Structure 1
């Protein structure tokens, strides 16, 4: 196995030549050898190869390079891979690669990543300011939806500007009193197919699991009321709930999410405070 890997790898023959000449490998050469072996392993078996695969490669190394065998260990190749502790050169190299992959993924996704979105008929300049003014005064829902769509790109710029994000609802207050605007914005952001996934999976999968996990939290009067409302229709409750079934389940999700890191500009808040900020009722 190892000879085949080295035979098809660039520079692989150099390892064999060095070993035949010196009957050993230097630390630098051994590191390069492990890198090539692990690269081949990932190519053939994925980023999380099984223990059996790792042991096969470790055994192969000390078979081809006998002087690298550890005479004081049980199998002789535990320093390359020890299944009992998941340590050794092979494991460490795999972890390094996985860590680099995670970092790469983290830098290309998340709420701070600017998505490439093209929405036609977007307003700018004076036309944008006129639309903002009209939105603050009109009661025609068709006009509201149209102007909110035409100001989408400018609104995205505000969202990505940390100094202006908190002004979104003051600049676009119709989010607070016009049902469907958030859904329209979400659809423009992710397109129809993606934006419908949460709603499609919420009832059959997410909702029940949110309730199940919320029951494991330390009970408080507020959480008990939300759980009761999330599990039972309003007509079955002794008193009118603050939120309906769906909203109660969504708010329970807040208690399950890890809190964001605090900072001088955005201090940490409790889940109950987050509920008050997430949902605003207008009578």
Structure 2
């Protein structure tokens, strides 16, 4: 007899956990039946799946489950529903996957807090940067643009050895509608994710994508802030490290805005100082 007799693999154990959770939760059996008949889940059903499992995870492990616990649920999902495994699905599910990993309260922090409390404070701090043409342009745009007027332009915290324009380019590329996107993707080196904003002109973006490892994932986002929200979350969904030159920016977003792994993340003194100033300022 094989040595594996009686043993259950990690993936099978995770699958059984997720399946048992769905069988005992309201609406769970309907999710299983839909997948059985369609070999897929609709957007609405997938969101219901994530909500049920996120709630169960919180009930079992508290408001802030460990990374291992979150990963077990994610493994159980793709083992029980293998057709959901492909991260480059035409619809893209970055928000839902991040929601499963961290819960609804954490997932919504950037979009809920940015305009009301964070944006004015970040602008105030950015005005203390060494002035340059790019910094002035980005500040002017940040102060004047409303949610409906945003043009896909994003910017990062200044860091030694990278200019604001270089930071901007590492996070977002504009591509004119009608041109070959494949040609653009093949010409980009590296595997770090970035936003590809597609439109006729830069101030009228039609579609946002997350580009990663020469693949495109359509964003649900309709504005640059939401696109950046998905860009940040993609690092966790696809288990990617931050770009070395943008690590301070992403660490700031991670700890200050999303409150993820605050005590265990290696932060620069500048990030800690900026977080304290922003969070303590009335």
TM over 0.5: no
Whichever structure has more strand as a proportion of its residues is 2
Normalising by structure 2, report the TM-score.
0.31
Normalising by structure 1, report the TM-score.
0.31
Greater C-alpha Rg = 1
